[in-house]
Structure 1
Amino acid sequence: MQPRDLSDHVAYEAGRGIEEVARELGRDPSEFIKLASNENPHGPSPAATVAIRETASDVSSYPKAAHADLTTAIASRWNVADEQVWLANGGDGAIDYLHRATLEPSDDILVPRPGFAYYGMSSRFHHGDVREYELSRADDFRQDADVVLDAYDDERVIWLTSPHNPTGSTMPLSEIERLADETDDETLVVVDEAYGEFADRESAIALIEGWDEFDARDDVAVLRTFSKAYGLAGVRLGYAVVPDEWADAYTRVNTPFAASELACRAGLAAIEDEEHVVRTVETTRESRAYMQDTIDAHVWESEGNFVLVDVGDASAVATEMQERGVIVRDCSSFGLPGCIRITCGTEDETERAVDTLNDVLADLDVDAADDPDAEVADP
């Protein structure tokens, strides 16, 4: 027998790791730095590392208490009810749960282009279809309600990414509210805030709970992760915050013990480690500013822990940077063949990345990189 027809499914393409590249090139891993996957340059929260070590002897038991404790801690962090927090195996697990709770066969979702491939992958897993709205390079990847509404056709779920990967742009809460107002009552607007800690703006949870000038809504959900600011990408821990009216759905769509004992205990420690998050955010902002000021190419403004750079020929530049020991993300897989994405690193890593990139641009004589209006294909 064969699996079902998966011809419409596109495999997720992750950033390349140091060990992988070093083996391929026959080099020592110590020669490389990796700024391709938007990981935390300071590593995991030290408190989380201790918690993982101390929890290791307890992994023979299911994580019921830890799961409940972390749910309560996150709910307290956002001042929502425990039932509004849907823990998951990474942010992608939360995407799956939201699709399980919303999609009937042949329902559509609306996703950004360029954007995170897993939105569409998950929809297709659940027999949904995928449509796209374009974030235009010509408009510096601007995000507002009109950009989405121009493509909207009563989709069941709309995905927003704010800050957006790979561009770093954000959508104001007032525009998210307007989008929710002007779409069907049965359309769920999901705001993916995987990079939310790095943006100087309030979370869209304000729209769910009716904080400040906003009215509480039942058609907005928010995604968050421990992978970025908390440095826990390897333990796979994320969550969704949903309207109160959605609370009961979680127990019907989640996998048993949706996050592991190690992940939950790490999350409990990390969420209290404010010093680590503050340090990470400060490093990110310094790195972003340095790259914006010193890269000899057009760099888009970003509120994530990365920047998008116009280099003219992403494949050639990324390959040459890799040869020189700096691994960055070729954004061709996002539909941006003229751009690379560079994760914000430590001061030393950032300086090395900038020096390497500038040398590569000069050596390859990439003229398009000097001109933000140069003709490079839109995604």
Structure 2
Amino acid sequence: MSDVTSRVRGNLAAIQPYQPGLSDETLRRELGNRRIIKLNSNENALGPSPLALEAIRRELPRLHLYPDGASDLVREAVARHHGISPEQVLVGNGSDDIIKLISETFLEPGDEIVVPNPSFSQYGFGAQVMDARVRPVPLKPDFTYDVDAMAMAVTTRTKILYLCTPNNPTGTVLKRREFEELLSRIPEDVFVVVDMAYDNYAVDEERLQLRPEDLRRGNVGFLFTFSKLYGLAGLRVGYLLANADVIQYIHRVREPFNVNRIAQIGAVAALSDVDHVRRSQALASEARFQYARLAEHGLRVVPSEANFCLVEVGDGAAVFQALMRRAILVRTGFRGLESYVRITFGTQEENELCIAALLEVVAGAN
């Protein structure tokens, strides 16, 4: 019997598939029909945008029709939302899809990308698929960006530099002045991708925020998602804002109909759901104060501008398992952060239950 796996591209052997947070369905099979508090995937505890749900219900009878091939309705809505032109918008099947499209557009074997470390693993995945090299740059001890180290990591082989702000899994932000300094120190032919999946939760006035004039630069792109604030993680919709010349090249590697019809309709409606946005932001703001109380018990809580926080607990894997036995899901396993767990903000009640269980687990381990 022949073995065609011998013909697989050699660089694929080194790729580790993405490991998403444990699902509540998986845990329910293990623990039975107990209430599960799911705080491991940075999902919106308030659920999806009600306006999106209503728009989706109206659209269901049209499922026999193909979606708009280039997601033009979403592009136009996003352009109005940000005060830019539709030609500066690319829509994808979640941010993951767009990261892979960027990799396919720019990277060839032997090229390099620069990424903060720790940060979102999919930046490296896109590079590995294209047989490019990943150059991780450690964050500072307080988990903020080391701009000097990021600039020095850029070489003549660097094609892409990723920035995540607020950063996942730390929740820390890049300041506008730091961003400008970094751009002044790197070549203009390096594509700088700023992942702002959690920026809608942030309140730091000095942080990097999108300005329409930023897109006049030919080497900067801003990545957004409908999965977090708008609560549409199950639909998979993300978008990239960049110079129109860059966008038209990325379109050339995009699959036709890469975003389904229901996702497009839901995303457009969610953009106008001001009430859901306000309530989601208020919930995150309240949760920050709830988890900050852990510091009173000797636990380090990294100040977060996102809808989650990173907490130092000693043995992250042991705490994860202990909480899971209590039907509370958090996240651990980030390389270099073995003593931490990342906790997504839930409802006020869910947060209080998680905090009480966490303190009990940590106390029992000491």
Short-chain TM bin? over 0.9
In structure 2, distance between residues paired with 1:176 and 1:46: 36
The Cα shift of 1:248 comes to 2.2
Q: Which residue of 2 aligns with 1:131?
A: 135
In structure 2, distance between residues paired with 1:217 and 1:98: 17
The Cα shift of 1:263 comes to 0.5
- Alignment match of 2:144 (pick from 120, 142, 145): 142
Aligned residues of 2:320 and 2:331 also touching (Cα < 8 A): yes
Q: Which residue of 1 aligns with 2:64?
A: 60
Aligned residues of 1:144 and 1:171 also touching (Cα < 8 A): no
Pairing of 1:1-379 with structure 2 (within 5 A): 1-2=4-5, 3-5=8-10, 6-25=12-31, 27-28=32-33, 30-64=34-68, 67-136=71-140, 139-154=141-156, 155-200=158-203, 201=205, 204-206=209-211, 209-210=213-214, 216-294=216-294, 296=297, 297-330=299-332, 332-365=333-366
The Cα shift of 1:124 comes to 1.6
Q: Work out the number of aligned pairs and report it.
A: 355
Amino acid of the structure 1 residue aligned with 2:304:
S
In structure 2, distance between residues paired with 1:205 and 1:66: 23
Superposed CA RMSD in Å reads 1.7
TM-score, normalised by the number of residues in structure 1:
0.90
In structure 1, distance between residues paired with 2:251 and 2:89: 11
Mean CA deviation greater in 2-11 or 157-166:
2-11
User: What is the DSSP-based 3-state SS (H/G/I as helix, E as strand, rest coil) of the residue aligned with 1:319?
Assistant: helix
The Cα shift of 1:237 comes to 0.3
Amino acid of the structure 1 residue aligned with 2:334:
S
The Cα shift of 1:72 comes to 0.3
User: What is the DSSP-based 3-state SS (H/G/I as helix, E as strand, rest coil) of the residue aligned with 1:177?
Assistant: helix
Q: Which residue of 2 aligns with 1:372?
A: none
Percent identity reads 35
TM-aligned CA distance change 1:250 to 1:152, over 3 Å: closer
TM-aligned CA distance change 1:210 to 1:149, over 3 Å: closer
User: What is the DSSP-based 3-state SS (H/G/I as helix, E as strand, rest coil) of the residue aligned with 1:333?
Assistant: coil
In structure 1, distance between residues paired with 2:115 and 2:198: 17
**Unaligned segments of structure 1, at least 5 residues:** 366-379
In structure 1, distance between residues paired with 2:76 and 2:208: 19
In structure 2, distance between residues paired with 1:243 and 1:205: 13
The Cα shift of 1:153 comes to 2.2
Amino acid of the structure 1 residue aligned with 2:273:
D
**Unaligned segments of structure 2, at least 5 residues:** none
Amino acid of the structure 2 residue aligned with 1:345:
G
Amino acid of the structure 2 residue aligned with 1:39:
E
Aligned residues of 1:38 and 1:344 also touching (Cα < 8 A): yes
In structure 1, distance between residues paired with 2:208 and 2:221: 11
In structure 2, distance between residues paired with 1:326 and 1:19: 13
Mean CA deviation greater in 88-97 or 16-25:
16-25
User: What is the DSSP-based 3-state SS (H/G/I as helix, E as strand, rest coil) of the residue aligned with 1:31?
Assistant: coil
Could you give the per-residue CA deviations for residues 178-213 of structure 1, whole angstroms, max 9, x where no partner exists?
21121112101111001010112466432x6249xx
TM-aligned CA distance change 1:340 to 1:10, over 3 Å: same
TM-aligned CA distance change 1:362 to 1:46, over 3 Å: same
In structure 2, distance between residues paired with 1:300 and 1:181: 29
Q: Which residue of 2 aligns with 1:368?
A: none
Aligned residues of 2:44 and 2:229 also touching (Cα < 8 A): yes
Mean CA deviation greater in 172-181 or 194-203:
194-203
Q: Which residue of 2 aligns with 1:374?
A: none
TM-aligned CA distance change 1:4 to 1:66, over 3 Å: closer
In structure 2, distance between residues paired with 1:171 and 1:158: 14
Aligned residues of 1:144 and 1:175 also touching (Cα < 8 A): no
Could you give the per-residue CA deviations for residues 222-258 of structure 1, whole angstroms, max 9, x where no partner exists?
1000000000000000010012332322431211122
In structure 1, distance between residues paired with 2:246 and 2:365: 54
Aligned residues of 1:205 and 1:241 also touching (Cα < 8 A): no
Mean CA deviation greater in 149-158 or 254-263:
149-158
In structure 1, distance between residues paired with 2:23 and 2:131: 32
In structure 1, distance between residues paired with 2:251 and 2:316: 44
